[in-house]
Structure 1
Amino acid sequence: MIRLIRVLLLSIHFFISSFIGLLIGIVRPFHPTNSRWCAAIYSSLAMPILGIKREVEGWDILDQSRPCIVVANHQSNWDLFIVGGAVPDRTVSLGKKSLKLLPIFGQLYWLAGNVLIDRGNPHKAKEAMEITKQALTQKNTSIWIFPEGTRNQGKNLLPFKKGAFITAINAGVPIVPVCCSSYLDHFSLGQLNNGVAKIKVLPAVSTQGLKQKDAAQLMHTIEADMLRTIQALDGKAAPSADSVDNQA
């Protein structure tokens, strides 16, 4: 019964939130703060519906490091609700071009100013990377990227791809790692309390003075730091009915 009620409430919430987000995009298309507003709308009601709470550590690092490239672990589609509430102002994400084809949400995602890339077309992908660089260097906009390239289903980290790190080096902006605990370990639509998702923002990593040949080492260093942090968060992320949402 809990599962059925949740699915119904989430469906209604997703439709209404998507409609509101689409209106925001139509009124001020491609504004870099649209993405933050839409993520907050999705997250605000979805969290209590899902029965999961969120604790964020290091929120101020994101504000102090703009513009930057944010790299985060990607567990599931639930990240939209759980991690979405931690998206800072003037931050857009990098997503697959195919997202634009999804009814309502795809158009919302596009109008929110997010960068869409065609991963199957190297020329188009390179073009998108140039747009990303311009957003970072000319528009004071940060880019949120999932460097794994796909969902890991909460099973540690998948190998990172170098695109985010090459782009950060080319633009001369720092990289800010955002780590979320493996909330899927305790998550079920059929249980009332789904515990706490712990999010920790790590100190910004400078790319000043680095060359493209340094991208692989930079990637591996950040990947290792994020894996250690996620494992540490998992040690503290057991379900708790008394946990408080400390999001700023």
Structure 2
Amino acid sequence: MFVHFLVSGVLGMLIGLCRPFNPDNSRLCARIYSVPALRILGLKLEMDAQGLMQHQRSCVIVANHQSNYDLFVLGSLVPERTVTIGKKSLKWVPLFGQIYWLAGNVLINRANAEQAKQAMLTTTDTLQHKDTSIWVFAEGTRNLGKGLLPFKKGAFQMAINAGVPIIPLCTSNYKNHMHLNRWRSGTVKVRSLAPIPTAGLSLDDMPALIERCRLQMQECIQSMDREIAAADDENLKARGGVRGQH
């Protein structure tokens, strides 16, 4: 993984330097990191995200955030012309930070309210006029596989201001179920939900919009977790094992 991370970093830097701030750089760099990493880590990814990948216009993608492994788990699902929002301090992380910046992602200084507000206005303009989507981890931080945290307002405010739909993207709880010392480290399910329209909504509608999105994602994540648990039980039975003995 260390060698892969270095090689991917060099390739990502070349892409960023050859076409700086191109909104499709994030997709290419994410795939470079993700596809080999899944094989190295032995993670099996089961995707049902055609609705996201086939979406043809700007949107706000809202995903749950478990750990730094999300880069590898979700990297192959980044659609064309999609950028993310991250902390401005990421820019100074050696190699990765410079790639992140050159990929055209939006960097926000959360400690400076005026700069954060200006960045949000910029993203609204991007959504409306530049045929580019925004990917946001709505919890604002990693939940470490302990279930969805409360959602921040930023993603929903952007979607309402721009009048673009929200596409929820759900990942099963893998953080506490990976076994990275095995050839098969576990299964991760990823599923995109139907777009939630925001046209005609105002900021007064934001609390209900946040609750609707969070509830749909929570139900989807719980459903995927049950599917994985059922499949694991079936595999144990097929091998003549008992879950509690392993």
Distance in 2 between residues matched to 1:101 and 1:72, nearest whole Å: 25
Offset at residue 155 of structure 1 (A): 0.9
Shift of 1:64: 2.0
Counterpart contact for 2:44–2:184, Cα < 8 Å: no
Q: Alignment partner for residue 140 of structure 2, among 145, 149, 154?
A: 149
Displacement of 1:65: 4.9
Q: Report whether the alignment pairs 1:19 with 2:17.
A: no
* 2:216 corresponds to 1:221: no
d(CA) in 1 for partners of 2:56, 2:214: 19
Alignment of 1:1-248 (within 5 A): 10-238=1-229
Contact 1:66 1:140 in 2 (8 A): yes
Identity %: 51
CA RMSD of aligned residues (A): 1.3
Q: Distance in 1 between matches of 2:35 and 2:49?
A: 20
Find the residue that maps to 2:228 and give its secondary structure. coil
Structure 1: how far apart are the matches of 2:69 and 2:49? Answer: 22
> Given residue 69 of structure 2, which amino acid in structure 1 is its aligned partner?
W
Give the aligned residue type for 2:17: I
Q: Which runs of 5+ in 1 are unaligned?
A: 1-9, 243-248
Contact kept in structure 2, 1:118 and 1:124, CA below 8 Å:
yes
Residue aligned with 1:235, SS = helix
**2:244 maps to what in 1?**
none
Total equivalences in the alignment: 232
The structure 1 segments of at least 4 consecutive aligned residues displaced by more than 4 Å after TM superposition are none
Distance of 1:106 and 1:133 partners within structure 2: 23
Instruction: Tell whether the 8 Å contact from 2:51 to 2:194 is kept in structure 1 after alignment.
Output: no
TM-score of the pair, normalised by structure 1: 0.90
Q: CA deviation at 1:228?
A: 0.6
Higher-RCO chain (CA-CA 8 Å, sequence separation at least 6) = 1
1:129 is displaced (CA, Å) by: 0.4
Paired with 1:154 and 1:191, the residues of 2 have a C-alpha distance of 20
Q: Which protein is bigger by CA-based radius of gyration?
A: 2
Structure-2 separation of matches of 1:174 and 1:60: 12
In the aligned structure 1, how far is the partner of 2:188 from the partner of 2:57? 25
Secondary structure in 2 matching 1:98: helix
State the Cα deviation string for residues 27-62 of structure 1 (Å, max 9, x = none).
000111100000000011100111101111132334
In the TM superposition, what is the alpha-carbon distance from 1:63 to its structure 2 partner? 2.6
Cα distance in 2 for partners of 1:109, 1:59 equals: 26
| Cα pair distance change 1:65/1:219, threshold 3 Å | farther
Gaps of 5+ in 2: 236-246
Q: Distance in 2 between matches of 1:58 and 1:204?
A: 12
Offset of residue 184 of structure 1: 1.6
Give the letter aligned to residue 64 of structure 1: H
